[in-house]
Amino acid sequence: APSTAAQPTGAGQEEADLRPPLRLAYAQALAQAGQPVRAVGVLDGLAPSAQTPRDRLAEAWRTVLSGLIFGAPAGGSAAPLRAAAHGAQHGGAEGDAHGPAAGAPGLAHGQMLALARARMDQVPDDPFKAKLLAGLGRQLMAQGRAGLAVPALQQADVLAIDPLMRADIEELLAQSALEANQRPLALRALERSALADLPADLAARRRYDEARLAAASGNREGAQALLAEDESDTGLSVRGALYEQDQQWAQAVQVVGRLASRTLPEQGVLSTAQRDLVIRLASDAAAAGDGPTARSLQAWVGARALGAERQVLFTALVKQAQKVPVVSLGVVRVPTTFDKSVKDPK
Protein backbone atom coordinates (compact mmCIF):
# COMPACT_ATOMS: atom_id res chain seq x y z
CA ALA A 1 0.00 0.00 0.00
CA PRO A 2 1.34 3.47 -0.78
CA SER A 3 2.66 5.46 2.16
CA THR A 4 0.35 8.13 3.55
CA ALA A 5 2.85 9.68 5.98
CA ALA A 6 2.99 12.99 4.07
CA GLN A 7 -0.74 13.18 3.35
CA PRO A 8 -2.74 15.25 5.88
CA THR A 9 -6.05 13.53 6.70
CA GLY A 10 -9.12 14.40 8.69
CA ALA A 11 -8.56 17.29 11.12
CA GLY A 12 -5.05 17.87 9.80
CA GLN A 13 -6.34 18.52 6.27
CA GLU A 14 -9.02 20.84 7.62
CA GLU A 15 -6.39 22.79 9.60
CA ALA A 16 -4.17 23.20 6.54
CA ASP A 17 -7.12 24.46 4.54
CA LEU A 18 -8.03 27.05 7.18
CA ARG A 19 -4.63 28.67 7.41
CA PRO A 20 -4.68 31.02 4.38
CA PRO A 21 -8.16 32.53 4.98
CA LEU A 22 -7.35 33.03 8.66
CA ARG A 23 -4.17 34.84 7.70
CA LEU A 24 -6.26 37.21 5.57
CA ALA A 25 -8.58 38.00 8.48
CA TYR A 26 -5.68 38.34 10.92
CA ALA A 27 -3.79 40.73 8.61
CA GLN A 28 -6.83 42.96 8.20
CA ALA A 29 -7.42 43.00 11.95
CA LEU A 30 -3.78 43.94 12.56
CA ALA A 31 -4.01 46.82 10.10
CA GLN A 32 -7.26 48.07 11.63
CA ALA A 33 -5.68 47.91 15.09
CA GLY A 34 -2.78 50.14 13.98
CA GLN A 35 -0.22 47.41 13.28
CA PRO A 36 0.09 47.43 9.47
CA VAL A 37 3.78 46.48 9.51
CA ARG A 38 2.98 43.18 11.23
CA ALA A 39 0.09 42.75 8.80
CA VAL A 40 2.53 42.90 5.88
CA GLY A 41 4.43 39.99 7.41
CA VAL A 42 1.21 38.00 7.68
CA LEU A 43 0.21 38.60 4.05
CA ASP A 44 3.64 38.23 2.43
CA GLY A 45 3.88 34.94 0.60
CA LEU A 46 0.15 34.45 0.14
CA ALA A 47 -0.84 33.94 -3.50
CA PRO A 48 -4.31 33.79 -5.07
CA SER A 49 -5.83 30.33 -4.66
CA ALA A 50 -9.11 28.58 -4.02
CA GLN A 51 -8.70 29.38 -0.31
CA THR A 52 -7.54 32.97 -0.89
CA PRO A 53 -9.39 34.28 -3.96
CA ARG A 54 -7.73 37.14 -5.79
CA ASP A 55 -10.42 39.67 -4.82
CA ARG A 56 -10.21 38.82 -1.10
CA LEU A 57 -6.42 38.95 -1.15
CA ALA A 58 -6.53 42.33 -2.89
CA GLU A 59 -9.02 43.62 -0.32
CA ALA A 60 -6.72 42.57 2.51
CA TRP A 61 -3.80 44.37 0.87
CA ARG A 62 -5.94 47.50 0.42
CA THR A 63 -6.61 47.52 4.16
CA VAL A 64 -2.94 47.02 5.00
CA LEU A 65 -1.67 49.64 2.55
CA SER A 66 -4.26 52.11 3.86
CA GLY A 67 -2.88 51.51 7.36
CA LEU A 68 0.70 52.08 6.22
CA ILE A 69 -0.14 55.32 4.42
CA PHE A 70 -3.05 56.85 6.33
CA GLY A 71 -2.80 55.18 9.74
CA ALA A 72 -5.38 53.13 11.60
CA PRO A 73 -9.03 53.98 10.82
CA ALA A 74 -10.80 56.24 13.28
CA GLY A 75 -12.42 54.26 16.04
CA GLY A 76 -10.26 51.18 15.38
CA SER A 77 -9.87 48.91 18.37
CA ALA A 78 -8.03 45.81 19.45
CA ALA A 79 -11.21 43.69 19.67
CA PRO A 80 -11.12 42.44 16.05
CA LEU A 81 -7.41 41.75 16.50
CA ARG A 82 -8.01 39.60 19.59
CA ALA A 83 -10.76 37.68 17.82
CA ALA A 84 -8.66 37.11 14.70
CA ALA A 85 -5.64 36.12 16.77
CA HIS A 86 -7.75 33.61 18.70
CA GLY A 87 -9.03 32.13 15.44
CA ALA A 88 -5.51 31.98 14.02
CA GLN A 89 -4.16 30.22 17.12
CA HIS A 90 -6.96 27.66 17.15
CA GLY A 91 -7.28 27.27 13.40
CA GLY A 92 -3.62 26.72 12.65
CA ALA A 93 -2.30 30.08 11.36
CA GLU A 94 1.41 29.90 10.94
CA GLY A 95 2.42 32.13 13.84
CA ASP A 96 6.05 33.17 13.71
CA ALA A 97 6.53 32.42 10.02
CA HIS A 98 3.93 34.94 8.85
CA GLY A 99 2.84 37.09 11.79
CA PRO A 100 4.79 37.01 15.06
CA ALA A 101 2.63 37.07 18.13
CA ALA A 102 4.98 39.50 19.84
CA GLY A 103 4.73 43.16 18.76
CA ALA A 104 7.03 44.00 15.88
CA PRO A 105 9.42 46.92 16.48
CA GLY A 106 7.89 50.21 15.39
CA LEU A 107 9.15 51.61 12.12
CA ALA A 108 9.67 55.28 11.35
CA HIS A 109 6.95 56.75 9.17
CA GLY A 110 9.36 57.01 6.24
CA GLN A 111 10.06 53.30 6.46
CA MET A 112 6.34 52.54 6.50
CA LEU A 113 5.91 54.60 3.34
CA ALA A 114 8.78 52.69 1.74
CA LEU A 115 7.04 49.45 2.67
CA ALA A 116 3.83 50.72 1.07
CA ARG A 117 5.68 51.69 -2.12
CA ALA A 118 7.25 48.23 -2.33
CA ARG A 119 3.87 46.45 -1.95
CA MET A 120 1.74 48.74 -4.10
CA ASP A 121 1.62 46.22 -6.96
CA GLN A 122 -0.35 43.87 -4.69
CA VAL A 123 -3.55 45.81 -5.44
CA PRO A 124 -5.18 46.15 -8.87
CA ASP A 125 -5.07 49.35 -10.88
CA ASP A 126 -8.34 51.08 -10.01
CA PRO A 127 -9.62 54.32 -8.43
CA PHE A 128 -8.91 53.04 -4.90
CA LYS A 129 -5.28 52.51 -5.85
CA ALA A 130 -5.31 56.09 -7.15
CA LYS A 131 -6.39 57.18 -3.66
CA LEU A 132 -3.58 55.16 -2.07
CA LEU A 133 -0.98 56.56 -4.47
CA ALA A 134 -2.22 60.12 -3.97
CA GLY A 135 -1.97 59.69 -0.20
CA LEU A 136 1.50 58.22 -0.57
CA GLY A 137 2.57 61.16 -2.73
CA ARG A 138 1.17 63.68 -0.27
CA GLN A 139 3.00 62.01 2.63
CA LEU A 140 6.26 61.90 0.69
CA MET A 141 5.87 65.59 -0.11
CA ALA A 142 5.40 66.35 3.59
CA GLN A 143 8.69 64.58 4.23
CA GLY A 144 10.47 66.65 1.60
CA ARG A 145 10.89 63.70 -0.77
CA ALA A 146 9.42 65.26 -3.90
CA GLY A 147 11.49 63.08 -6.22
CA LEU A 148 9.72 59.98 -4.89
CA ALA A 149 6.34 61.69 -4.81
CA VAL A 150 6.38 62.51 -8.54
CA PRO A 151 6.06 58.94 -9.93
CA ALA A 152 3.45 57.98 -7.32
CA LEU A 153 1.31 60.99 -8.23
CA GLN A 154 1.78 60.41 -11.95
CA GLN A 155 0.42 56.89 -11.57
CA ALA A 156 -2.43 58.15 -9.39
CA ASP A 157 -3.33 60.68 -12.07
CA VAL A 158 -3.65 57.91 -14.66
CA LEU A 159 -5.88 55.75 -12.44
CA ALA A 160 -8.21 58.44 -11.07
CA ILE A 161 -11.64 58.72 -12.70
CA ASP A 162 -13.47 61.48 -10.84
CA PRO A 163 -12.58 64.85 -12.45
CA LEU A 164 -12.26 66.69 -9.14
CA MET A 165 -10.06 63.96 -7.68
CA ARG A 166 -7.85 64.12 -10.76
CA ALA A 167 -7.58 67.90 -10.45
CA ASP A 168 -6.52 67.54 -6.83
CA ILE A 169 -3.90 64.92 -7.76
CA GLU A 170 -2.61 67.05 -10.65
CA GLU A 171 -2.17 70.03 -8.32
CA LEU A 172 -0.16 67.83 -5.95
CA LEU A 173 1.84 66.62 -8.93
CA ALA A 174 2.55 70.23 -9.90
CA GLN A 175 3.79 70.94 -6.37
CA SER A 176 6.07 67.91 -6.31
CA ALA A 177 7.37 68.59 -9.82
CA LEU A 178 8.27 72.15 -8.83
CA GLU A 179 10.08 70.89 -5.75
CA ALA A 180 11.91 68.35 -7.93
CA ASN A 181 12.85 71.08 -10.44
CA GLN A 182 10.74 69.53 -13.21
CA ARG A 183 9.09 72.70 -14.50
CA PRO A 184 7.66 71.32 -17.76
CA LEU A 185 5.89 68.55 -15.84
CA ALA A 186 4.59 71.10 -13.32
CA LEU A 187 3.22 73.26 -16.12
CA ARG A 188 1.42 70.32 -17.77
CA ALA A 189 -0.08 69.24 -14.46
CA LEU A 190 -1.34 72.77 -13.74
CA GLU A 191 -2.88 73.03 -17.19
CA ARG A 192 -4.74 69.73 -16.72
CA SER A 193 -6.02 70.76 -13.28
CA ALA A 194 -7.66 73.96 -14.56
CA LEU A 195 -11.32 72.99 -14.18
CA ALA A 196 -14.24 75.35 -13.87
CA ASP A 197 -15.78 75.82 -10.42
CA LEU A 198 -12.89 74.39 -8.42
CA PRO A 199 -13.29 74.43 -4.63
CA ALA A 200 -11.78 77.57 -3.11
CA ASP A 201 -8.93 75.76 -1.36
CA LEU A 202 -7.87 73.91 -4.52
CA ALA A 203 -8.09 77.09 -6.59
CA ALA A 204 -5.86 78.85 -4.05
CA ARG A 205 -3.32 76.02 -4.12
CA ARG A 206 -3.19 76.23 -7.91
CA ARG A 207 -2.60 79.97 -7.68
CA TYR A 208 0.34 79.41 -5.32
CA ASP A 209 1.75 76.82 -7.72
CA GLU A 210 1.38 79.22 -10.63
CA ALA A 211 3.21 81.89 -8.67
CA ARG A 212 6.04 79.52 -7.78
CA LEU A 213 6.27 78.38 -11.40
CA ALA A 214 6.38 81.97 -12.64
CA ALA A 215 9.14 82.78 -10.15
CA ALA A 216 11.10 79.65 -11.09
CA SER A 217 10.84 80.71 -14.75
CA GLY A 218 12.25 84.16 -13.95
CA ASN A 219 8.98 86.11 -13.89
CA ARG A 220 9.21 87.44 -10.32
CA GLU A 221 6.89 90.37 -10.91
CA GLY A 222 4.26 88.10 -12.41
CA ALA A 223 4.57 85.75 -9.44
CA GLN A 224 3.98 88.56 -6.95
CA ALA A 225 1.11 89.93 -9.04
CA LEU A 226 -0.70 86.59 -8.79
CA LEU A 227 -0.67 86.89 -5.00
CA ALA A 228 -0.97 90.66 -4.59
CA GLU A 229 -4.41 90.54 -3.01
CA ASP A 230 -3.91 87.32 -1.03
CA GLU A 231 -3.80 88.08 2.69
CA SER A 232 -4.26 84.47 3.82
CA ASP A 233 -1.57 82.90 5.98
CA THR A 234 -0.42 80.66 3.13
CA GLY A 235 -0.51 83.53 0.66
CA LEU A 236 1.67 85.70 2.89
CA SER A 237 4.06 82.81 3.49
CA VAL A 238 4.46 82.14 -0.24
CA ARG A 239 4.90 85.84 -1.01
CA GLY A 240 7.52 86.10 1.70
CA ALA A 241 9.33 83.06 0.30
CA LEU A 242 9.42 84.67 -3.15
CA TYR A 243 10.97 87.82 -1.70
CA GLU A 244 13.45 85.72 0.28
CA GLN A 245 14.48 83.83 -2.84
CA ASP A 246 15.08 87.19 -4.55
CA GLN A 247 16.98 88.46 -1.49
CA GLN A 248 14.55 91.37 -1.26
CA TRP A 249 14.85 91.33 2.49
CA ALA A 250 12.98 94.55 3.28
CA GLN A 251 9.90 93.33 1.43
CA ALA A 252 10.28 89.91 3.05
CA VAL A 253 10.31 91.55 6.49
CA GLN A 254 7.14 93.43 5.66
CA VAL A 255 5.21 90.40 4.42
CA VAL A 256 6.52 87.81 6.91
CA GLY A 257 6.08 90.40 9.66
CA ARG A 258 2.42 90.73 8.75
CA LEU A 259 2.09 86.95 8.95
CA ALA A 260 3.78 86.96 12.35
CA SER A 261 1.58 89.79 13.60
CA ARG A 262 -1.49 87.63 13.47
CA THR A 263 -0.15 84.12 14.04
CA LEU A 264 2.20 84.67 17.00
CA PRO A 265 0.09 84.86 20.17
CA GLU A 266 0.79 87.57 22.71
CA GLN A 267 0.94 85.01 25.52
CA GLY A 268 1.27 81.27 25.95
CA VAL A 269 3.55 78.54 24.68
CA LEU A 270 4.64 78.80 21.06
CA SER A 271 4.10 75.80 18.79
CA THR A 272 6.91 74.38 16.67
CA ALA A 273 5.54 76.15 13.58
CA GLN A 274 5.34 79.45 15.50
CA ARG A 275 8.91 79.06 16.75
CA ASP A 276 10.05 78.46 13.18
CA LEU A 277 8.22 81.62 12.13
CA VAL A 278 10.06 83.58 14.82
CA ILE A 279 13.39 82.40 13.41
CA ARG A 280 12.26 83.12 9.86
CA LEU A 281 11.31 86.73 10.62
CA ALA A 282 14.46 87.23 12.68
CA SER A 283 16.55 85.91 9.78
CA ASP A 284 14.85 88.29 7.34
CA ALA A 285 15.32 91.21 9.72
CA ALA A 286 19.00 90.35 10.20
CA ALA A 287 19.54 90.18 6.42
CA ALA A 288 17.79 93.55 6.02
CA GLY A 289 19.63 95.15 8.93
CA ASP A 290 16.23 95.95 10.45
CA GLY A 291 17.07 96.38 14.12
CA PRO A 292 13.71 97.81 15.24
CA THR A 293 11.80 94.81 13.86
CA ALA A 294 14.24 92.40 15.49
CA ARG A 295 13.96 94.16 18.86
CA SER A 296 10.18 94.29 18.60
CA LEU A 297 10.10 90.57 17.84
CA GLN A 298 12.40 89.86 20.77
CA ALA A 299 10.11 91.82 23.11
CA TRP A 300 7.05 90.05 21.73
CA VAL A 301 8.57 86.60 22.29
CA GLY A 302 9.79 87.59 25.73
CA ALA A 303 10.92 84.74 27.94
CA ARG A 304 8.94 82.10 26.09
CA ALA A 305 10.89 78.98 25.19
CA LEU A 306 12.13 78.52 21.64
CA GLY A 307 14.26 75.47 22.30
CA ALA A 308 17.99 75.55 23.03
CA GLU A 309 19.24 75.65 19.43
CA ARG A 310 16.62 78.14 18.25
CA GLN A 311 17.29 80.38 21.24
CA VAL A 312 21.01 80.60 20.45
CA LEU A 313 20.24 81.34 16.80
CA PHE A 314 17.55 83.88 17.67
CA THR A 315 19.89 85.80 19.97
CA ALA A 316 22.57 85.88 17.28
CA LEU A 317 20.10 87.07 14.63
CA VAL A 318 18.76 89.89 16.82
CA LYS A 319 22.33 91.01 17.42
CA GLN A 320 23.13 90.80 13.71
CA ALA A 321 20.07 92.90 12.84
CA GLN A 322 21.50 95.82 14.82
CA LYS A 323 24.33 96.10 12.30
CA VAL A 324 23.97 98.21 9.19
CA PRO A 325 23.65 95.98 6.10
CA VAL A 326 26.45 96.15 3.56
CA VAL A 327 24.00 97.24 0.83
CA SER A 328 21.04 99.51 1.57
CA LEU A 329 17.86 97.59 0.89
CA GLY A 330 15.34 100.36 1.52
CA VAL A 331 14.08 98.78 4.71
CA VAL A 332 10.35 98.89 5.32
CA ARG A 333 9.64 98.02 8.94
CA VAL A 334 6.62 96.27 10.36
CA PRO A 335 4.90 98.07 13.25
CA THR A 336 6.79 97.55 16.49
CA THR A 337 3.60 96.64 18.33
CA PHE A 338 2.67 93.86 15.89
CA ASP A 339 -0.65 95.59 15.25
CA LYS A 340 -3.12 92.87 14.25
CA SER A 341 -4.75 95.14 11.67
CA VAL A 342 -1.59 95.92 9.71
CA LYS A 343 -2.14 95.89 5.94
CA ASP A 344 -0.19 96.69 2.79
CA PRO A 345 0.38 100.42 2.29
CA LYS A 346 -1.90 101.67 -0.46
Three-state helix/strand/coil letters over 237-303: HHHHHHHHHCCCHHHHHHHHHHHHHHHCCCCCCCCHHHHHHHHHHHHHHHHHCCHHHHHHHHHHHCC
pLDDT of 107 above 70 = no
Residue ranges of alpha helices (H) inside 92-217 are 109-119, 127-142, 146-159, 163-179, 183-192, 200-216
DSSP state of 121: G
pTM of the model: 0.72
Judged on CB neighbours under 10 Å (0-12, 13-18, 19+), 113 is: buried
pLDDT for 9 equals 43
pLDDT above 50: residue 227: yes
Residues 52-62 have pLDDT tens digits of 899 999 999 99
Structure confidence by residue, pLDDT tens digits, 4-40: 444 434 443 443 344 888 888 888 888 889 899 999 9
Centroid of chain to Cα 208: 17
Q: Which stretch of DSSP H or E encloses residue 317?
A: helix 308-321
The pLDDT tens digits of the residues spanning 286-322 come to 999 999 999 999 999 999 999 999 999 999 999 999 8
Does the pLDDT at position 175 exceed 80?
A: yes
Average pLDDT, the chain: 82
Percent of the chain with pLDDT over 90: 63
Q: pLDDT at position 45, please?
A: 84
Q: Which residues of 84-105 are buried (b: 16+ CB within 10 A; e: fewer)?
A: bbebbeebbbeeeebbeeeeee
Q: How confident is the model at residue 160 (pLDDT cuts 50, 70, 90)?
A: very high
Rg, C-alpha atoms of the chain:
27
